Amino acid sequence: MAHLDINGVRLWVEDEGEGRTDAPALVFVHEFGGDHRSWRGQVDHFKDRFRCITYSARGYPPSDVPDDEDAYGQDIATADLLGVLDALELDRAHLIGLSMGAYTCLRFVLAHPERVASAVVASGGSGSFPANRPAFLSETRALADHILAQDSLDLPGFATSATRLQLKLKNPDGWQEFSDQFAEHSPMGSAYTLRRVQAGRPSLYDFEAALGAVATPVLLMIGDEDEPCIDTNIFLKRAMPSAGLMVFPKSGHLINLENPAAFNAAVDAFHRDMAADQWPRRDDATTGDSAYLSQEDS
């Protein structure tokens, strides 16, 4: 556990487990409402077999909270992930990201594919679906303005929103821990993250051509009640021949917290399939839309 100097700020990084020396480490990238602590259920599961790296993004204590809004942004978040890998001398890593972290992982795959052994992209894509994008941008900016005006993260509706309520219904104690940890975040850091990272990032639909060229194995994960992410993940599955899509039933946005065992098992199965060379690029013959005819016949 240490502060590492990365791109002009100190990021809090925790490094647990040793694993096989020939196996890439797991690097976890958290969502807007979480921080490095959000991955406890995953680190405890994987640390006997993998080196596990978690970190809090800039703006999230105990990492630095820059008071310059220009010090935040999606490109900066992607560069910080690269900085973490470089600082720890990780040539390649298995990336696991949730929501905001999933977007960062996917952008990292596009920018630095040689550094990524695989990527788990969980609950990603909020604000990308074209029909919902204007409302997402407006709501995100308004929430940032509210947090700055009140200098507070006292947002009772956030932890019980339509995509986070599932955690409370399944695991009240886990939901309370999530809610308490969110309240400990920096209002300024959270608001600037909303403005510059969440509202400042392009739609994933803008990268359709680049996504089609991705060769890195990618596991997409969503909950079937995470409405802001469902349509975008179907798009991502179709756009990326290297991607598979897993849908968790009766689940919302915080799928790693709602059911850690199922989440961890899915990641384990993904890694086993890759090791057995059973994660192929999608065959074009499977992309037809006829229920009865082959691509050639149709």
Does 292 map to a domain? no
Percent of the chain with pLDDT over 70: 98
**What's the pLDDT band for 156 if we cut at 50, 70, 90?**
confident
Does 293 map to a domain? no
How many CB atoms sit inside 10 A of residue 39's CB? 27
Signed CA dihedral, 142, 59, 205, 291: sign only: negative
Q: How confident is the model over 26-41, as pLDDT tens digits?
A: 999 999 999 999 999 9
59, two tokens? 């703006």
Q: Tell me, what CATH number does 238's domain have?
A: 3.40.50.1820
Does 295 map to a domain? no
4, two tokens? 């590492």
Contacts of 63 (CB under 8 A, 6+ apart): 3, 9, 10, 11, 12, 55, 56, 57
Contact at 8 Å (CB) between 237 and 124? no
Whole-number pLDDT of residue 29: 98
Strand partners, 52: 16, 26
Does 194 map to a domain? yes
Instruction: Domain count for the chain, please give it.
Output: 1
pTM higher than 0.75 for the full model? yes
Strand extents, DSSP E, the chain: 2-6, 9-19, 25-29, 50-55, 93-98, 116-122, 218-223, 243-248
Does 206 map to a domain? yes
CA separation (Å) from 217 to 27, 39, 104, 113, 214?
15, 21, 16, 10, 8
Whole-number pLDDT of residue 4: 97
Which domain covers residue 57, as residue numbers? Answer: 2-279
Does 290 map to a domain? no
How many CB atoms sit inside 10 A of residue 177's CB? 16
